[in-house]
Structure 1
Amino acid sequence: METIAPLWLWIVFVAFVLGALFVDFVLLKKQGAHEVGVKQALNWSLVWVGLSFVFNALFWWAVKDSTGSSALANEKSLEFLTGYLIEKSLAVDNIFVFLLIFSYFSVPPVYQKRVLMIGIVGAIVLRTGMILVGGWLLAEFHWILYVFGAFLILTGVKMWWAAGQEPDLNDNPALKLLRKLLPVSKTYDGEKFWTVENGKRIATPLMMVIAMVALTDVIFAVDSIPAIFAITSDPFIVLTSNVFAILGLRAMFFLLQAAASRFHLLNYGLAVILVFIGSKMVLIDVFKIPVAVSLGVVLGILAITMLWSAKTAPNT
């Protein structure tokens, strides 16, 4: 797998991710369990988006410095921006599922932050492995692109069909299996994943929540990673755009939690985006859609869907 990114930029990226996780797990941990307000979530969301653009500017400079080509630097930075936007958009659907899980298990708001922090680390590790495997498969077997494309089209159609339906965790087979494997307490024990009842060590509902969040990460990684490979095959761009989208997931969760009803039609837009990206992959050897066009289509679909959602949002 070849990448245009120099080694020092890989080092900067890894250092940045480790620094971000240090802030989340060490510095913010001193705050203790607390409910994240809309203002705090908005500020952190703006910080993560801003840092993503700063990193993209650094990436542009690194490509131009190493190749001497501004045109190539523009192309690669546009690939990062498009990939980041696609992954960020698909993360919204991920967040809606998190909202469902938290609501189903009645997770107290003060404990939700820790669950999301652990989920983010799991998602980074999982997606890194899947991206490396996916990149190797594409390098060895070009026809995998058609498989990825067809899968995204089918996923988009399925998402459109299910968009107007209310999801139900009661019939979730993974949840049923977890309940059979793990005895679970009826009440929370602070932020603990394990507690002791009648002399036996059993899981708390928070452990079930973590397990369901991890399962959700797996499902959405299978959907979103092929989508970014439709934009670029450079493993650096694929990985960094994914990770930057994930790092802002926690703040975006609390932000969308307060305005979920205003984006009730967003899943329809995400379904159309998946079908578009899947079609782009299937047609890649017939007609290659420029990255700038892909970015414009994704932005246009999101803008139309969000405006449509705001206009038809139910009164609260």
Structure 2
Amino acid sequence: MLDISPLTWAVTIGFIVALLAVDLILAAVRPHHVGFKEATAWSVFYIAVAIGFGVWFGMQYGNAAGTEYFAGYIIEKSLSVDNLFVFVIIMTTFAVPDHHQHKVLTFGIVLALIMRAIFIALGAALINSFSFMFLLFGLLLVYTAIQLFRHRDEDPDIETNLMVRGARRFLPVTADYVDGKLVTKVDGKRLFTPLFIVLIAIGSVDLLFALDSIPAVFGVTQEAYIVFTANAFALLGLRALFFLVKGLLDRLVYLSTGLSLILLFIGFKLMLHWAHVDVNESIPEIPTPLSLVVVLGILLVVVVASLIRTRTNPEEKAHPGSLRATKKQEDDA
């Protein structure tokens, strides 16, 4: 286990909060359409920050720790692309005005970080107390991978989301977005705007993604600090990445298949680790450098194969995949 001091934790969290604060301030003070140049600049900045942190971390705590961080970061970054798909669907479903999408994404990232921090703390405590959690996490990832592959050509049905349906049923909601406010007053009555419902939709989706991504990164490291920073730096660049690649997302037709393979691989890695620790030490484990190579290889194949496929079949559109059949398919069945 690494000896991460409370000061290092505090400085790291403070730095991440400061970056989030800048995003929130920009979103609140200057709502605007984020163009390609601005999105590119922010994307490069966040990737540079993540790499710079990884280099410092590796120099400070050793190459093995640095490799674990980069493996975790790449896994979380690849899984976050599926987040982007769903964000696009939510924005489209609720017809979020272009100049308010910046704010929605930033709030979504804050919610995702909070939920991941909670799951990381719980996951680390469970793993430290019960080694069989590696088996349970592994089985969860394998199940998720199978479900994602089965429904790889589907989109999640946001309209049937339990939290969204409940909010629409029990909360008074305005007809328009009221300058991007979450709550407003009309004739002395406090009303919620559609933006509040959008945040509920994103928050509930973030919860589902956290259930998958946290066990996945625990597959390459058991260090809570690495799990947290890999998640945080992967999520920080999500807003800029959304505006940068939302036009490209439709072309990644094999992304869901690739992500299901990554989850399946990490799931088996976790189960092998459990078997090595609890069953027999002669059972081999998958080393982190190999995990890094496998994940990068899958992503490279997915991107190249997707671009070739959509070049020959331009009418094909990518889907984020779903963990269960959509309402339409259930009705058809």
Task: Check whether TM > 0.5.
Answer: yes
- Structure 1 residue 51, shift from structure 2 partner: 0.7
Unaligned runs of 5+ residues in structure 1 are 64-72
How far apart in 1 are the matches of 2:269 and 2:174?
48
Which of 255, 258, 270 is equivalent to 1:281?
A: 270
1:199 Cα deviation after fit: 4.2
CA distance in structure 2 between the partners assigned to 1:263 and 1:250 by the alignment = 19
1:154-303 equivalent positions in 2, closer than 5 A: 154-284=143-273, 285=276, 286-303=283-300
Give the secondary structure class of the aligned counterpart of 1:201: strand
Take 1:31 and 1:198, find their aligned partners in 2: how far apart are those partners? 27
The residue aligned with 1:47 is: 45
- The more displaced of 175-184 and 155-164 is 175-184
TM-score using structure 2 length: 0.87
Separation in structure 1 between the aligned mates of residue 10 and residue 177 of structure 2, nearest angstrom: 40
Which residue identity is paired with 1:20?
Answer: L
Displacement of 1:174 after TM fit?
2.7
Question: Which residue matches 2:18?
Answer: 19
Q: CA offset at residue 264 of structure 1?
A: 2.3
In structure 1, the residue matched to 2:328 is none
- Deviation of 1:243 after TM superposition, in Å, equals 0.6
> What residue number does 2:32 align with?
34
Counterpart CA distance in 1 for 2:160 and 2:258 is 26
Structure 2 distance, partners of 1:198, 1:54, is: 52
Cα–Cα, structure 1 residues 162 and 40, in superposed 2: closer, same or farther, change >3 Å?
same
Q: For residues 36-185 of structure 1, what are the structure 2 equivalents within 5 Å?
A: 36-63=34-61, 73-185=62-174
What amino acid is the match of 2:47? Answer: V
Q: 3-state SS of the aligned residue for 1:269?
A: helix
TM-score, structure 1 as length reference: 0.92
Shift of 1:122: 1.7
Note the alpha carbon deviations across 1:86-129, whole angstroms, 9 max, x for none: 00111011111111000000001100111111121222222112
Unaligned runs of 5+ in 2: 277-282, 316-333
**Which 10-residue stretch deviates more, 195-204 or 104-113?**
195-204
Contact 2:58 2:67 (C-alpha < 8 Å) held by counterparts: no
One-letter identity of the residue aligned with 1:116: L
Q: CA deviation at 1:29?
A: 4.3
Q: 3-state DSSP class of the match of 1:190?
A: helix
Q: Which digits, 9 at most, give the CA deviation of each residue in 1:146-183, with x for residues without a partner? A: 01100000101111111112433233333222211212
- Residue type matched to 1:96 in 2? F
Question: 1:170 & 1:121 partners in 2: Cα distance?
Answer: 23
Preserved CA contact (<8 Å) 1:9 1:59: no
Alpha-carbon separation, structure 2, partners of 1:176 and 1:30: 27
Q: CA deviation at 1:191?
A: 0.9
Identity %: 37
- CA offset digits 1:47-78 (Å, max 9, x no partner): 11111110011111211xxxxxxxxx111100
